[in-house]
Chains A and B, each alone.
Chain A
């Protein structure tokens, strides 16, 4: 279910990214990167907004264009800071997005596997760009956090190899170009 304000955000994102999108495609190395991510507290709930750069390798794009769906997972963890002991993970959230190519219509379909929302795009670039835009994703209710404790939040994007067919899994685990994941991007949730 789309939230209010998603469409304009997507539109602006596309508008902003279009001028350098083509250039970036040519020279950008395959890989995932969290460009920006932040949380805001609205009505007692933390919402996440993030911009994730998803550059699939040529092999992956080729597989995608030949009909193999590709799943990208956004892993989000809320970590409670403890002074005299190891930090504990308070909550873990995984958002899975799948991109696939519909041969008959020649459109790229992005599906949010968590919600079932689906959107089609005419180009690959549009599809991955929209997939990397996260806005107003509810993370956690503020009531669930201990008052006065220090919390960090971190996230990363990972190509989900396990959802791929067996031979490709083996292939992916042996050859580079398939092992795509971003570094952890961490910021303070509550201090």
Chain B
């Protein structure tokens, strides 16, 4: 809308300008014939110029303000407007200077001293030519006055008429009295009722007794010669009369005089109009040129804006792109180079947006894969760690830390070289790995046997080279599994099978042996006497007893191999401990057992019978270790603790006996491993089996001050137990030990 308004204004301005030019051209060709419309046109143009000036001033002010505020494109617009302005003003000023000179000279050339002199002379000649006649007519009029003086006033009218006809006058009037009244008149023009009266100055002159004669233009009558003479009749001055005679200046002489007068007047008029004419021309010229300059200035504004607008858009668009906004699409201004630039910009932003989108998508994909991998690694039962060529730890999943019994996050970004040689599980692990790294093995696989705090640990470790990135030497990823439990379980299963078969194979002949021995005793003991009877008695007794012992041993084997279902019920562990200790105290009077029971311990959900058996076995172990020791003392401790959702009951039995032989400490839980003379070697194996059936863990160690210490951890609630049964509790127990 605004654009159309501007165009309309521009069009109207152009039309006014053209009209001014045309009128100027016409005025030049017909200089004297100015129309009054020109004045209005000049004012109209001036008004248009003022309006344009206001518009340009407003625009310029706005532009300067924009420049001051450093708004984009204002500098370029200002420069363009300045250039356009100078380009328009310079030629226009030149044109004005030359045109002004041409106009001035053109008008001045109309006037020539010689022409003026000639005209003046012509006028003078006309007057001289008429003067002769004037004087002649004055004499004639005086003669008529003389004639009239002797005429009776009653015949004056008739006399006048006659005299007029005789002397060729157009009008004769006799005036008289105080008021110069018309006494009588005679006119050739019958239409005119009132005679043409002389001026007051003439009357005054005649009244003073003088004559008057002169040329006088008469209304509707052309040029006349007026002669007024006194009539010597009356004596008193108020009664004096005067005669006026009007003679037409006829014929060729009059026409010539008129033409000379006309030309002279015209010429004189022009001299007067010279100044105003010049002013008029210059003003019109100035206005037209001013309008041209202003229009071109305004055009400069419009053009600069049209030109700068897309550039301004481009600058804004570039800024938006720099800010990261790729959605900017600029309007296409035209099909020229600027338009091409703008369309290229639009294409660029579109491509940038597409590139950004695809980069974001691929990043998201990478993130997804990463989190997927992270989730997999977190839930993986294998430990995974990666490190670079300098053995700096890069990644480690939680399982790795749990298996190695340490929090690996504290080593993240640090070199593991320093840990080699340490006695910890991690230290041993690193040492074992370094052997391969030093040998520059690309990929390797090894079963490692390490010594952990809970005993021997068997890891299956495999290592692979990571793909090299750039010039950095490739790192490695190490995946390892803790096979200890698996191998233990396999071993336990094997032993169970052996025990079952042995029990079966051995138990079968035992009863016939026992029966046979008893029958022998019953049959032959009464028949024998003396020493024979004594031998038989002892032998059969020995057989029966040994068979009984063998039977109990076989039963123990069966017990170990047997795996009945657990009867899980909540029960008070402390009460069970107290009961068992009391039982031992009554049975084994020499045993000293000290109890430290945690009153905070809640009921434990477990198979009470099996726990009883665990306690029995452990107390039995302690008792056997303390046999024949004066200061022998056992200590039994219960402790309750919880970590998050896990609740654990810890049961520790220790003694001050000889402790475990270091050689068998690592294999203490394997069947038939015993340091005692008697005993099946199944006690601790059964304890471990029962403990693990409950999802618990067991740890055996020698105390620093001497004696053995066995610690059992049992999950209290179902949640902890199910977690532990999935294979975690021992590792967690190990971790906690580290944390403690």
Interface of A with B (CB < 8 Å)? 1-2, 7-8, 10-11, 14, 62-63, 66-68, 102-105, 107, 109, 111, 116-123, 126, 130, 162, 165-171, 173-174
Contact residues in A for B280 (Cβ distance below 8 Å): 166-167, 170-171
Tell me if B514 is interfacial: C-beta within 8 Å of chain A. no
Asked if residues B269 and A120 are in contact (CB atoms below 8 Å), the reply is: no
Asked if residues B200 and A167 are in contact (CB atoms below 8 Å), the reply is: no
Asked if residues A105 and B277 are in contact (CB atoms below 8 Å), the reply is: no
Asked if residues B39 and A104 are in contact (CB atoms below 8 Å), the reply is: no
Which chain A residue shows the least CB distance to B37? Answer: A166
Asked if residues A126 and B194 are in contact (CB atoms below 8 Å), the reply is: no
A107-B217 CB under 8 A given contacts A171-B276, A174-B279:
yes
Inter-chain CA distance A102–B219, complex, in Å, is 13
Which chain A residue shows the least CB distance to B34? Answer: A166
Asked if residues B36 and A68 are in contact (CB atoms below 8 Å), the reply is: no
Asked if residues B194 and A107 are in contact (CB atoms below 8 Å), the reply is: no
Q: How would you classify the secondary structure of chain B's contact residues: helix, strand, loop or mixed?
A: helix
A-B contact pairs, 29 of them (CB 8 A): A7-B179, A7-B200, A11-B203, A14-B201, A66-B268, A67-B265, A103-B264, A103-B265, A103-B268, A104-B123, A104-B261, A107-B214, A107-B217, A118-B217, A118-B218, A120-B199, A121-B201, A122-B199, A122-B201, A130-B200, A165-B269, A165-B273, A167-B276, A168-B273, A168-B276, A169-B34, A170-B38, A170-B39, A170-B283
Please provide the chain B residues from 166 to 205 with a CB less than 8 Å away from any CB of chain A in the complex. Answer: 179-180, 194, 197, 199-201, 203-204
Contact residues in B for A116 (Cβ distance below 8 Å): 219-220
Which chain B residue shows the least CB distance to A100? Answer: B265
Asked if residues A171 and B279 are in contact (CB atoms below 8 Å), the reply is: yes
Which of B36, B203, B272 contacts A66, CB < 8 Å?
Answer: B272
**Nearest CB on B from A166, distance (A):** 2
Tell me if B588 is interfacial: C-beta within 8 Å of chain A. no
Asked if residues A121 and B199 are in contact (CB atoms below 8 Å), the reply is: yes
Asked if residues B197 and A68 are in contact (CB atoms below 8 Å), the reply is: no
- 16 other A-B residue contacts (CB within 8 Å) besides A165-B273, A170-B39: A7-B197, A11-B200, A103-B264, A103-B268, A104-B123, A104-B264, A105-B215, A105-B223, A121-B199, A123-B201, A165-B34, A166-B38, A169-B34, A170-B38, A170-B42, A171-B280
Which chain A residue shows the least CB distance to B261? Answer: A104
Tell me if B646 is interfacial: C-beta within 8 Å of chain A. no
Inter-chain CA distance A14–B272, complex, in Å, is 30
Inter-chain CA distance A107–B265, complex, in Å, is 13
Asked if residues A1 and B199 are in contact (CB atoms below 8 Å), the reply is: no
Which of A111, A130, A162, A171 contacts B275, CB < 8 Å?
Answer: A171
Inter-chain CA distance A10–B201, complex, in Å, is 11
Please provide the chain B residues from 119 to 134 with a CB less than 8 Å away from any CB of chain A in the complex. Answer: 123, 126-127
Which of A2, A68, A166 contacts B35, CB < 8 Å?
Answer: A166
Interface residue total, chain B, C-beta cutoff 8 A: 45
Contact residues in A for B33 (Cβ distance below 8 Å): 166
Asked if residues A166 and B265 are in contact (CB atoms below 8 Å), the reply is: no
**Nearest CB on B from A106, distance (A):** 9
Inter-chain CA distance A97–B38, complex, in Å, is 25
Contact residues in A for B220 (Cβ distance below 8 Å): 116
Asked if residues A169 and B215 are in contact (CB atoms below 8 Å), the reply is: no
A1-B279 CB under 8 A given contacts A7-B180, A66-B271, A103-B261:
no
**Nearest CB on A from B227, distance (A):** 14
Asked if residues A167 and B271 are in contact (CB atoms below 8 Å), the reply is: no
A117-B219 CB under 8 A given contacts A7-B197, A104-B127, A174-B279:
yes
Asked if residues B200 and A162 are in contact (CB atoms below 8 Å), the reply is: no
Contact residues in B for A14 (Cβ distance below 8 Å): 200-201
Asked if residues A102 and B217 are in contact (CB atoms below 8 Å), the reply is: yes
Tell me if B216 is interfacial: C-beta within 8 Å of chain A. yes
Inter-chain CA distance A131–B34, complex, in Å, is 28
Which of A11, A67, A111 contacts B268, CB < 8 Å?
Answer: A67
Tell me if B260 is interfacial: C-beta within 8 Å of chain A. yes
Inter-chain CA distance A8–B39, complex, in Å, is 44
Tell me if B332 is interfacial: C-beta within 8 Å of chain A. no
Which chain B residue shows the least CB distance to A129? Answer: B200
Contact residues in A for B217 (Cβ distance below 8 Å): 102, 105, 107, 109, 118, 120
Which of A68, A111, A119, A173 contacts B199, CB < 8 Å?
Answer: A119
Asked if residues B199 and A165 are in contact (CB atoms below 8 Å), the reply is: no
Tell me if B257 is interfacial: C-beta within 8 Å of chain A. yes
Which of A2, A68, A104, A119 contacts B215, CB < 8 Å?
Answer: A104
Which of B194, B257, B275 contacts A1, CB < 8 Å?
Answer: B194
A169-B199 CB under 8 A given contacts A105-B214, A117-B219:
no
Asked if residues A169 and B179 are in contact (CB atoms below 8 Å), the reply is: no
Please provide the chain B residues from 20 to 43 with a CB less than 8 Å away from any CB of chain A in the complex. Answer: 32-36, 38-39, 42
Asked if residues A66 and B269 are in contact (CB atoms below 8 Å), the reply is: yes
Inter-chain CA distance A123–B531, complex, in Å, is 207
Inter-chain CA distance A162–B276, complex, in Å, is 15
Which chain B residue shows the least CB distance to A8? Answer: B179
Inter-chain CA distance A104–B39, complex, in Å, is 33
Asked if residues B39 and A169 are in contact (CB atoms below 8 Å), the reply is: yes
Asked if residues A120 and B216 are in contact (CB atoms below 8 Å), the reply is: yes
Interface 1/0 per residue, B520-562 and A, CB below 8 Å: 0000000000000000000000000000000000000000000
**Nearest CB on A from B466, distance (A):** 98
Which of A103, A120, A126, A166 contacts B123, CB < 8 Å?
Answer: A103
Contact residues in B for A162 (Cβ distance below 8 Å): 36
Asked if residues B194 and A2 are in contact (CB atoms below 8 Å), the reply is: yes
Q: What 5 pairs across the A-B complex have the smallest Cβ distances? A: A166-B34, A171-B276, A118-B219, A167-B276, A67-B265
A126-B273 CB under 8 A given contacts A66-B268, A118-B218, A170-B39:
no
Which chain B residue shows the least CB distance to A107? Answer: B216
**Nearest CB on B from A42, distance (A):** 20
Contact residues in B for A62 (Cβ distance below 8 Å): 272
Inter-chain CA distance A119–B123, complex, in Å, is 22
Inter-chain CA distance A10–B35, complex, in Å, is 38
A63-B261 CB under 8 A given contacts A102-B217, A166-B36, A170-B39:
no
**Nearest CB on A from B439, distance (A):** 113
Name the residue among A62, A107, A123, A167 with the largest chain B CB count within 10 angstroms. A167
Contact residues in A for B35 (Cβ distance below 8 Å): 166
Inter-chain CA distance A130–B266, complex, in Å, is 26
Inter-chain CA distance A14–B276, complex, in Å, is 35
Name the residue among B180, B200, B223 with the largest chain A CB count within 10 angstroms. B200
Which chain B residue shows the least CB distance to A2? Answer: B194
Contact residues in B for A122 (Cβ distance below 8 Å): 199, 201
Asked if residues A63 and B272 are in contact (CB atoms below 8 Å), the reply is: yes
Inter-chain CA distance A71–B271, complex, in Å, is 20
Contact residues in A for B127 (Cβ distance below 8 Å): 104
Inter-chain CA distance A148–B108, complex, in Å, is 64
**Nearest CB on A from B344, distance (A):** 58
Inter-chain CA distance A51–B468, complex, in Å, is 123
Contact residues in A for B271 (Cβ distance below 8 Å): 66
Asked if residues B216 and A105 are in contact (CB atoms below 8 Å), the reply is: yes
Asked if residues A104 and B126 are in contact (CB atoms below 8 Å), the reply is: yes
Contact residues in A for B126 (Cβ distance below 8 Å): 104
Asked if residues B257 and A104 are in contact (CB atoms below 8 Å), the reply is: yes
Contact residues in B for A2 (Cβ distance below 8 Å): 194, 197
Interface 1/0 per residue, B387-418 and A, CB below 8 Å: 00000000000000000000000000000000
Asked if residues A167 and B34 are in contact (CB atoms below 8 Å), the reply is: yes
Asked if residues A102 and B261 are in contact (CB atoms below 8 Å), the reply is: yes
Inter-chain CA distance A190–B279, complex, in Å, is 49
Contact residues in A for B283 (Cβ distance below 8 Å): 170
Contact residues in B for A10 (Cβ distance below 8 Å): 200
Contact residues in A for B201 (Cβ distance below 8 Å): 14, 121-123, 126
Inter-chain CA distance A66–B270, complex, in Å, is 9
